[in-house]
Amino acid sequence: MDSNKICRVKIEENIIRVQSGKELTLPLAILNKDCKFKKMWDKFAGRSEEELNKAREYSREYNQRPEVKAKRKEYQREYDQKPEVRAKVREYHREYNQRPEIKAKHREHQREYYQRPEVKARHREYNQKPEIKARAREYNQKPEVKAKHREYQRKYYQKVVKDKQNQQELNKLTREIKE
């Protein structure tokens, strides 16, 4: 709240400086973010509302020109290719994607996406190709993959046996309680 008041004080001070023709204490870019200062600046500069609207309209039309759009797009492409910009963007996305709510959102999106019939059909069709089947068969023949599958099956079998024993004990206890 205090920083807002200080900012207001600085803006009021700069409005007075504009009227008296003195040098500004803050950069014009920062001051122009404030509506009150901008109106005062335009009024002092002698620009009417009609002139301002005309300037806005011209700017809008100018920015819609194909050559201007192409130039802006080319500049943006060059800017995005700079190593420091790419590193900054990469770092931002790395941090952003580590947030728990974003991870949950991605998981939910993936779950919904892979449940679509057209996606399932596309995967089924892809997995039916002979070269894909051959690659999967070749992968599954590797000793480390076979060992991994055996370990998984052993753990799964132990879990099933344990669950079956627990169910039998539960059934036995329920029979004893009924009797």
Residue type, 108: E
Q: Where are the alpha helices (DSSP H) in the chain?
A: 2-20, 28-31, 35-44, 49-63, 66-80, 83-97, 100-114, 117-127, 130-140, 143-178
Q: How much is the pLDDT for 2?
A: 44
Contacting residues for 114 by C-beta, under 8 A, at least 6 apart? 120, 123
Q: How much is the pLDDT for 4?
A: 53
Q: How much is the pLDDT for 56?
A: 83
Q: How much is the pLDDT for 71?
A: 95
pLDDT at 12 over 70: yes
pLDDT in tens, 131-178: 999 999 999 999 999 999 999 999 999 999 999 999 999 998 898 888
pLDDT, greater one: 162 or 26: 162
The residue-averaged pLDDT of 66-74 equals 95
Sorted by where each begins, the domain ranges of the chain are 2-49, 116-160
Contacting residues for 107 by C-beta, under 8 A, at least 6 apart? none
pLDDT in tens, 75-119: 999 999 999 999 999 999 999 999 999 999 999 999 999 999 999
Q: How much is the pLDDT for 10?
A: 78
Of 21-30, 57-66, 111-120, highest mean pLDDT: 111-120
Give the separation between CA 50 and CA 56, rounded to whole angstroms. Answer: 10
Q: Decide if 11 contacts 37 (C-beta within 8 A).
A: yes
pLDDT, greater one: 25 or 102: 102
Q: How much is the pLDDT for 1?
A: 39
For residue 13, name the pLDDT band (cuts at 50, 70, 90): confident
pLDDT at 43 over 80: no
